[in-house]
Amino acid sequence: MTRALSWLYLLALYGFILLPVGALVLFSFQDGGLPVPPFQGFSLRWYADILGDRALMRALLHSVLLAFGSSALACALGFLAAWGLARHALPGAALMRAILVMPLAVSTLIVGLGLLIVLTRLGIGLSLWTAGIGHVVINLPLCFAILYASMGDQQRSAERAARDLGAREWQVLLLVAVPMLRPALLAAFFLSVTLSWDEFIIAFLLTRFDVTLPVEIWSLLRSGLSPRLNAVGSLVFLVSALAVVLAEILLLARRRT
């Protein structure tokens, strides 16, 4: 009895959780003008339509640049900080760790608004670069936390051995620490790519003309339901899902070894 109930519950919740995304993807293939039932047949025309749309493709390019650029920088900064804090006994280390992860607990609206105020005061024009600054702010805590958690003792011994054998500090960093932590680095990178790829409010507040895909979708929303939006949405979803699966595989592989 309770067994049957729990399977029923599981099914119901799967339905609730997967329904909207299922509808999004299914009706992106709709052969008709409205992305709602009945399903009128399978067609790829909306994908062809968005791939031919210059504004959307420009937004796509901006999103890719922003996600990869800000994640790479966040990973680099996060790695150095994690390495520094894990390998050196610094006074005030707890405070520094707290400051580094703090942006995680703050609404992105506030991060974006604060930066917008400062940039406007300084007379700096909004662009993909300013959105990039904001994205590094929110990606850095994530990268730092993941990398700091994976600085194990095993690596420490290898680093010490390298130093004993005469390696310079930059050689230890690039030839020992980075390669040993590569899975964690890549996982942090891909998680932060997803975060940045999906992020709306900072990109909305801090760009002007070079908008990203979520911002472009936002402005398309005004015209209501359309299979084109389903197609772009599915595309955005597919990319983030791929990045997360990659990160997951990398983190799992690490835990097994």
Partner 1 sequence: MTSRAGGWALVAPALLWTLCFFVLPFAVMAAMSLARLEGRELVWGFDLGNYARLGDPAIARAVLVSLEITLTVTVVSVLLAYPLAAILAFRVPERWRRLALMLAILPFWTSYVVRSYSWLLVLSREGIVNRVLMGIGLTDAPLTLANTRFATVTGFVHFFTMLLTLTIYANLVQLPRNYARAAQDLGASRWQTFRHVILPLTLPGIVTGAFLTFVLCIGDYVTPQILGGNRELALPQVIMLQLGRRADFPLASALSVALMGMVTLAYLLSARWLRLDRL
What span, in angstroms and rounded, lies between the C-alpha atoms of 170 and 100?
Answer: 23
Note the helical H segments in 103-226: 108-122, 128-149, 153-164, 169-171, 178-180, 182-198, 201-206, 213-220
What span, in angstroms and rounded, lies between the C-alpha atoms of 84 and 208?
Answer: 37
Q: How far is the CB of 113 from partner 1 (least distance, A)?
A: 6
Nearest to 184 by CA among 82, 113, 63: 82
Backbone angles phi, psi at 89, to 5 degrees: -85, 100
Q: How far is the CB of 45 from partner 1 (least distance, A)?
A: 18
Sequence-ordered list of residues with C-beta below 8 angstroms from that of 73, at least 6 positions apart, any chain = 132, 136
Q: How far is the CB of 74 from partner 1 (least distance, A)?
A: 9
Closer of 120 and 154 to partner 1 (Cβ): 120
Q: How far is the CB of 226 from partner 1 (least distance, A)?
A: 10
Q: How far is the CB of 52 from partner 1 (least distance, A)?
A: 21
Q: How far is the CB of 71 from partner 1 (least distance, A)?
A: 14
| Phi-psi category of residue 98: left, alpha or beta, with phi > 0 → left and psi -120 to 50 → alpha | alpha
Closer of 89 and 257 to partner 1 (Cβ): 89
Q: Is 42 helix (H, G, I), strand (E, B) or coil?
A: strand
Q: Between helices 54-87 and 128-149, what is the axis angle to 10°?
A: 40
